[in-house]
Copies of this chain bind each other. A is one copy, B any other.
Amino acid sequence: MAEKKKIGILGASGYTGAELVRLLLRHQRVEIVLLTADRRAGQKMGDVFPQFAPYELPQLVSIDSVEWATAGLDLVFCALPHATTQTVLKDLLTKAPGTRVVDLSADFRLSDPAAYAKWYGHEHHALELQKEAVYGLVEVYRRDIKKARLVANPGCYTTCAQLPLIPLLKAKAIESDEIVIDAKSGMTGAGRSAREEMLFSEVSEGFNAYGVGGHRHMSELDQEFSKAAGKEVVVSFTPHLAPMNRGIFSTIYVRGRRGKTAQDLHQILAEQYAKEPFVYVLPFGKTPHSRHVRGSNMTFIGVVQDRIEGRAIIVSTLDNLTKGASGQAVQNMNAMLGFVETLGIDQPAMFP
């Protein structure tokens, strides 16, 4: 068997870090050799996530203690917070320029420095890398990803909205100025930070919207939708929190263009994704449940005719920690390292 590639995970104490470990522990072609977590440095992964206690894994270390030049890493997953990421990756890629990187933060998703500065309130700290980074939606940018050194893994909300909408915008099959995306997320999307509004008793048995009217993720949608449509596209997008752990569920309201019916839209998507391993288009008129993709790398998409003529309702769902984050990151890694794209991420959803 071929030698295993050496993998590092920066920021292993968060949920996306844990999900990476879950997936990579059983990936036949790689080996985890580095796990960082600054506040938990010196501890075992099993102290931070007890489910890993029975497995052999490297001890958690702080980022500062890593010598990039001699670390011998083939690929690094970066699951660090916004802004920190830019500094760390600049340092890493300067000292170990041959390392490949899949970055799970939002730091390298926007290719336009001006757009970045507008949405994040400061100039980008690693402009060269921003230029170099490839947007990691495999179903759209597979060819570029294979050759990329630095891949910006897309966000969970945005992956869930792009997979159904990009083929339709490219085909100019829908009106681009009447798109409404009503998105619902499970709580792991908010991370593992101890905040009052994320406590069990504040979340369970209830539902709410947040960031209404101006969520940061919109910049990523603006960029990719405009690129696909060949003109500026601005959508209405509202994120919500549902009392569940995993899942993004998007209900998307569109109007067909030049007589395109809901059935036409369905056909475009069905054809587009017929051979994609991680996108499944349901029969026309059916809509998916988030629970049926839980823990898997799948996106399920359904298209329904609205009762208002000319309008369609598209429903799209994925697991925010898998296809929405760590599973997609492994999919990117597989593409970058020349593995079979489904390796290590082909387990079916866990339902119930």
Residues of A within 8 A of B (CB): 15, 18, 21-22, 25-26, 49-55, 178, 180, 182, 184, 186-188, 192, 194-196, 198-210, 212-214, 218, 234, 236, 238, 240, 242-247, 249, 251, 253, 280, 282, 285, 287-296, 298, 300, 302, 304-308, 311, 313, 315, 317, 321, 346-352
Contacts and interface: CB of A to CB of B under 8 A. Distances in A.
A49 B352 CA distance: 9
B206 A26 contact: no
Contacts of A180: 180, 182, 253
Contacts of A205: 204-205, 244-247, 291, 294, 352
Given A204-B243, A206-B247, A213-B304, 13 more contacts: A26-B348, A51-B349, A184-B207, A186-B201, A200-B245, A207-B244, A209-B251, A209-B287, A212-B287, A212-B304, A236-B311, A240-B249, A295-B350
Nearest to A206: B291
11 contacts: A25-B347, A53-B282, A53-B292, A192-B199, A198-B199, A199-B200, A206-B244, A212-B313, A212-B315, A238-B251, A295-B295
Contacts of A350: 22, 295, 350
Contacts of A249: 207-209, 240
A306 B236 contact: yes
A308 B236 contact: yes
Given A15-B352, A347-B26, A199 B194 contact: yes
A142 to B, nearest CB: 19
Closest 8 CB pairs of A and B: A206-B291, A51-B349, A182-B182, A201-B352, A208-B289, A200-B203, A51-B292, A54-B280
B21 A348 contact: yes
| Centre residue among A49, A202, A296, A304 by max chain B CB count within 10 A | A202
A7 to B, nearest CB: 16
